[in-house]
Amino acid sequence: MDKQDEIEGLAILIRDLRKHKNVTLGDLAGRIDRSVGFLSQVERGISRPTVADLTAISEALGVPTTYFYSLSKPRETPWVTRPGERRTLYYAGGITDVLASPTMSGGFSMLESHLAPGATSGEGHLDDSSEQGGFVLEGELTLWYGDDDAPVTLYRNDSFQLPPHAQFRYANLSDKPTRVLWVFT
Protein backbone atom coordinates (compact mmCIF):
# COMPACT_ATOMS: atom_id res chain seq x y z
CA MET A 1 0.00 0.00 0.00
CA ASP A 2 1.16 3.53 -0.65
CA LYS A 3 0.87 6.44 1.80
CA GLN A 4 -2.54 7.59 0.53
CA ASP A 5 -3.94 4.03 0.74
CA GLU A 6 -2.71 3.81 4.34
CA ILE A 7 -4.32 7.16 5.23
CA GLU A 8 -7.62 6.11 3.63
CA GLY A 9 -7.44 2.71 5.38
CA LEU A 10 -7.14 4.43 8.77
CA ALA A 11 -10.06 6.73 7.91
CA ILE A 12 -12.24 3.71 7.10
CA LEU A 13 -11.24 1.89 10.31
CA ILE A 14 -12.14 4.91 12.45
CA ARG A 15 -15.47 5.53 10.70
CA ASP A 16 -16.48 1.85 10.70
CA LEU A 17 -15.58 1.37 14.36
CA ARG A 18 -17.48 4.53 15.37
CA LYS A 19 -20.56 3.37 13.47
CA HIS A 20 -20.25 -0.18 14.85
CA LYS A 21 -20.25 1.27 18.37
CA ASN A 22 -23.33 3.38 17.49
CA VAL A 23 -21.53 6.63 18.29
CA THR A 24 -22.36 9.75 16.30
CA LEU A 25 -19.72 12.07 14.92
CA GLY A 26 -20.88 14.72 17.40
CA ASP A 27 -20.65 12.34 20.38
CA LEU A 28 -17.16 11.18 19.46
CA ALA A 29 -15.98 14.73 18.75
CA GLY A 30 -17.21 15.75 22.20
CA ARG A 31 -15.50 12.81 23.89
CA ILE A 32 -12.14 13.65 22.32
CA ASP A 33 -12.53 17.44 22.60
CA ARG A 34 -12.24 18.07 18.85
CA SER A 35 -14.65 19.61 16.35
CA VAL A 36 -17.13 17.58 14.30
CA GLY A 37 -15.59 19.09 11.16
CA PHE A 38 -12.11 17.88 12.06
CA LEU A 39 -13.35 14.38 12.89
CA SER A 40 -15.35 14.28 9.65
CA GLN A 41 -12.20 15.19 7.71
CA VAL A 42 -10.25 12.43 9.50
CA GLU A 43 -12.95 9.88 8.61
CA ARG A 44 -12.77 10.96 4.96
CA GLY A 45 -8.97 10.79 4.83
CA ILE A 46 -8.63 14.55 4.31
CA SER A 47 -6.97 15.32 7.66
CA ARG A 48 -4.66 13.15 9.73
CA PRO A 49 -5.06 12.80 13.49
CA THR A 50 -2.16 13.38 15.85
CA VAL A 51 -0.98 10.53 18.07
CA ALA A 52 -2.94 12.17 20.92
CA ASP A 53 -6.08 12.31 18.73
CA LEU A 54 -5.88 8.64 17.76
CA THR A 55 -5.22 7.60 21.36
CA ALA A 56 -8.26 9.62 22.49
CA ILE A 57 -10.39 8.06 19.72
CA SER A 58 -9.32 4.55 20.72
CA GLU A 59 -10.06 5.17 24.39
CA ALA A 60 -13.43 6.78 23.59
CA LEU A 61 -14.42 3.80 21.42
CA GLY A 62 -13.09 1.18 23.86
CA VAL A 63 -10.29 -0.35 21.79
CA PRO A 64 -6.50 -0.31 22.21
CA THR A 65 -4.64 2.13 19.99
CA THR A 66 -3.04 -0.85 18.27
CA TYR A 67 -6.50 -1.67 16.83
CA PHE A 68 -5.80 0.82 14.07
CA TYR A 69 -2.85 -1.24 12.85
CA SER A 70 -5.08 -4.24 12.22
CA LEU A 71 -5.17 -4.09 8.42
CA SER A 72 -2.84 -6.92 7.61
CA LYS A 73 -0.65 -7.27 4.58
CA PRO A 74 0.19 -10.67 3.11
CA ARG A 75 3.30 -12.13 4.76
CA GLU A 76 5.75 -14.69 3.50
CA THR A 77 6.12 -16.25 6.99
CA PRO A 78 3.29 -15.73 9.55
CA TRP A 79 5.59 -15.12 12.53
CA VAL A 80 7.98 -12.81 10.63
CA THR A 81 7.34 -9.36 9.19
CA ARG A 82 9.55 -7.79 6.57
CA PRO A 83 9.68 -4.07 5.71
CA GLY A 84 7.35 -4.30 2.69
CA GLU A 85 4.73 -6.21 4.70
CA ARG A 86 4.24 -3.64 7.47
CA ARG A 87 1.26 -1.39 8.15
CA THR A 88 2.12 2.29 8.45
CA LEU A 89 0.19 5.15 10.07
CA TYR A 90 0.96 8.72 9.02
CA TYR A 91 0.00 11.19 11.75
CA ALA A 92 -0.33 14.94 11.73
CA GLY A 93 2.51 16.53 13.62
CA GLY A 94 5.34 14.79 11.74
CA ILE A 95 5.14 11.28 13.22
CA THR A 96 4.98 8.05 11.24
CA ASP A 97 4.47 4.71 12.99
CA VAL A 98 5.34 1.41 11.34
CA LEU A 99 3.93 -1.78 12.88
CA ALA A 100 6.95 -4.05 13.33
CA SER A 101 5.04 -6.93 14.97
CA PRO A 102 3.94 -9.79 12.71
CA THR A 103 0.67 -10.12 14.64
CA MET A 104 -1.57 -8.09 16.94
CA SER A 105 -2.77 -11.14 18.86
CA GLY A 106 0.30 -11.61 21.06
CA GLY A 107 1.02 -10.24 24.51
CA PHE A 108 2.78 -7.18 23.09
CA SER A 109 3.12 -5.16 19.90
CA MET A 110 6.11 -3.30 18.48
CA LEU A 111 6.16 -0.08 16.50
CA GLU A 112 8.99 1.79 14.89
CA SER A 113 8.20 5.47 15.28
CA HIS A 114 9.81 8.03 12.98
CA LEU A 115 9.70 11.60 14.25
CA ALA A 116 10.69 14.38 11.87
CA PRO A 117 12.53 17.36 13.36
CA GLY A 118 10.00 19.30 15.45
CA ALA A 119 7.46 16.42 15.43
CA THR A 120 5.05 16.13 18.34
CA SER A 121 2.44 13.68 19.60
CA GLY A 122 0.03 16.58 20.07
CA GLU A 123 -0.59 19.30 22.61
CA GLY A 124 -2.52 17.18 25.07
CA HIS A 125 -1.27 14.30 27.16
CA LEU A 126 -1.87 10.77 25.91
CA ASP A 127 -3.85 8.42 28.17
CA ASP A 128 -3.44 4.95 26.70
CA SER A 129 -4.69 1.85 28.52
CA SER A 130 -1.57 -0.05 27.41
CA GLU A 131 1.65 -0.38 29.33
CA GLN A 132 4.35 0.84 26.99
CA GLY A 133 8.01 1.50 26.67
CA GLY A 134 10.51 2.57 24.13
CA PHE A 135 14.12 2.37 23.04
CA VAL A 136 15.64 5.32 21.19
CA LEU A 137 17.34 3.96 18.07
CA GLU A 138 18.41 7.29 16.63
CA GLY A 139 18.11 10.97 17.53
CA GLU A 140 16.44 12.52 20.59
CA LEU A 141 13.05 11.96 22.18
CA THR A 142 11.67 14.42 24.72
CA LEU A 143 8.99 13.10 27.12
CA TRP A 144 6.66 15.00 29.46
CA TYR A 145 5.33 12.60 32.09
CA GLY A 146 2.51 13.15 34.56
CA ASP A 147 2.14 16.56 36.18
CA ASP A 148 5.86 17.27 35.91
CA ASP A 149 6.36 20.29 33.66
CA ALA A 150 10.05 19.50 33.25
CA PRO A 151 10.61 17.20 30.26
CA VAL A 152 13.18 14.44 30.08
CA THR A 153 15.21 14.09 26.89
CA LEU A 154 16.32 10.62 25.90
CA TYR A 155 19.15 10.00 23.47
CA ARG A 156 20.31 7.09 21.31
CA ASN A 157 20.28 3.81 23.32
CA ASP A 158 18.18 5.31 26.17
CA SER A 159 14.93 3.56 27.07
CA PHE A 160 11.77 4.20 29.10
CA GLN A 161 8.77 2.31 30.46
CA LEU A 162 5.36 3.77 31.37
CA PRO A 163 2.45 2.14 33.22
CA PRO A 164 -1.08 1.87 31.78
CA HIS A 165 -2.95 5.21 31.71
CA ALA A 166 0.25 7.20 32.15
CA GLN A 167 -0.35 10.84 31.27
CA PHE A 168 2.42 11.81 28.85
CA ARG A 169 3.29 13.44 25.57
CA TYR A 170 6.42 13.38 23.46
CA ALA A 171 8.28 15.28 20.76
CA ASN A 172 11.48 15.50 18.74
CA LEU A 173 12.77 18.95 19.63
CA SER A 174 16.00 18.46 17.70
CA ASP A 175 16.82 19.37 14.10
CA LYS A 176 17.52 15.72 13.16
CA PRO A 177 15.15 12.76 12.65
CA THR A 178 14.40 10.44 15.57
CA ARG A 179 13.55 6.73 15.49
CA VAL A 180 12.10 4.88 18.48
CA LEU A 181 11.25 1.21 18.91
CA TRP A 182 7.97 1.36 20.88
CA VAL A 183 6.54 -1.67 22.71
CA PHE A 184 2.89 -1.92 23.87
CA THR A 185 1.19 -4.58 25.96
Under 8 Å between Cβ of 42 and 32: no
Amino acid 175: pLDDT: 98
User: Does residue 85 carry a pLDDT above 90?
Assistant: no
Amino acid 73: pLDDT: 63
Amino acid 1: pLDDT: 66
Under 8 Å between Cβ of 181 and 156: no
What's the mean pLDDT in 140-145? 97
Identify the CA nearest to 170 among candidates 95, 112, 109. 95
Confidence of residue 177 (pLDDT cuts 50, 70, 90): very high
Which has the minimum average pLDDT: 8-12, 23-27, 46-50, 178-182?
8-12
Phi, then psi, of 121 in degrees rounded to 5: -75, -10
What's the mean pLDDT in 119-137? 93
Count of alpha carbons within 13 angstroms of residue 133, beta-carbon side: 9
Considering the entire predicted model, what is its pTM? 0.82
